Amino acid sequence: MVATLQSIAARLGLDPSTVSRAFNEPHRVSERTRRRVADVAEEMGYRPNGAARALATGKTNAIGVVIPDVANPVFPAFVKSAQTRAWRNGQTVLLADTDESPPREREIVKRLIPQTDGLVLCSSRLPEDELAELAARAHLVLVNRSAPGVSSVLLDAADGIRQAMDHLVALGHRRIAYVAGPDHSWSTPERRRLLGIQAERLRVELVTVGPFAPTYEGGLGAAGFVRDSGATAVVAYNDLLALGIQSALATMGIAVPDDMSVIGVDDIAMAAISTPALTTIRLAMGMAGEAAIRMMGQALAGIETEPTTVTLATQLIVRSSTGHPPDLV
């Protein structure tokens, strides 16, 4: 006979809802009850997703990894390296996609907390106060996101943007557009702030258009605003936006890079094979996944008891989507 929650409950003389809470919300039952349920579940061969072993040890050996969009090509390298490092640690990764929605991310986090030993949130869309509250309740590592009192893995956007702006100004550009991503993304205002610092340093004009969805389709919609901005170069929030902008500009008869230079952020695989090949700021997302799981392992082992930050280098990859502005050709 296959063991069920009901059969375990009958064996123990408990209500099935109590047994269910022992598996799914162990913090809501006593230690004695949790262990009784674990022992009987083990004896009866009931092991849903390792829950019985988790009850007995207090560990799930699972790490929740949450990303904004599984379809975005920037995230597979991050997920792959996180899974590889977790596997070496004897852990399983539970992957969730928020679809760029803060409410959905909030609900996903709520569901993952009782099923995991810790959470890695990549490019989290949640506000700082919620992240601080979450860090007080669970082991938490942020990637491409900073929040006070929370461990994080950052990509050195400041240096990457400095390289990009130096490159454009050296080519002769004096009016540069920034195509912003979604308002709820931490990176959107942060990149705008860093671009502003460099524009002031280099004494060039920066104009912002957007926000736009961080997708190819978002770039198609942004291209007209870029054209009308009077800029001769554009830095897009990410590569997908940049590729959409390039495509739409071509249909308008605006040549890249002869009439408009375009720079993206991420260095996804499509950046190198687009026409023209996209100049972009490379983010070390593979290294970020490995670093996040390593930091999580140290926190779970009690090695890291205070929040820490790891910053990974970025690099401008110059390809054929950038050139001199039309008045200098």
According to DSSP, residue 55 is labeled H
- Does domain 157-283+316-328 sit in CATH 3.40.50.2300? yes
CB of 41 closer than 8 Å to CB of 47: yes
According to DSSP, residue 312 is labeled E
- What is the model's pLDDT at position 35? 84
Q: Tell the CATH topology of 5-57.
A: 434 Repressor (Amino-terminal Domain) (1.10.260)
- What is the model's pLDDT at position 67? 96
Give the whole-angstrom CA distance, residue 299 versus residue 183: 31
Pairing of strands 309-312, 151-155: parallel
- What is the model's pLDDT at position 47? 60
Give the whole-angstrom CA distance, residue 223 versus residue 246: 8
What tens-digit pLDDT sequence spans the chain (329 residues)? 567 888 888 888 988 888 888 876 676 788 888 888 888 888 888 766 555 555 555 677 899 999 999 999 999 999 999 999 999 888 899 999 999 999 999 999 999 998 899 999 999 999 999 999 898 888 999 999 999 989 999 999 999 999 999 999 999 999 999 999 998 999 999 999 999 999 999 999 999 999 999 999 999 999 999 999 999 999 999 999 999 999 999 999 999 999 999 999 999 999 999 999 999 999 999 999 999 999 998 888 877 668 899 999 999 999 999 999 998 65
Give the whole-angstrom CA distance, residue 294 versus residue 82: 9
- What is the model's pLDDT at position 196? 97
- pTM tops 0.85, yes or no: no
Give the whole-angstrom CA distance, residue 65 versus residue 57: 22
End-to-end alpha-carbon separation of the chain, Å?
A: 80
The number of residues in the chain equals 329
CB of 67 closer than 8 Å to CB of 99: no
Burial class (CB in 10 A: 0-12, 13-18, 19+), 230: exposed
Burial class (CB in 10 A: 0-12, 13-18, 19+), 162: buried
**Residue 234 is inside which H or E element, if any?**
strand 233-236
Q: Tell the CATH topology of 62-155+285-312.
A: Rossmann fold (3.40.50)
Q: Mutual orientation of helices 31-44 and 16-24 as an angle, nearest 10°?
A: 100
Listed in order, the ranges of the chain carrying CATH 3.40.50.2300 are 62-155+285-312, 157-283+316-328
Listed in order, the ranges of the chain carrying CATH 1.10.260 are 5-57
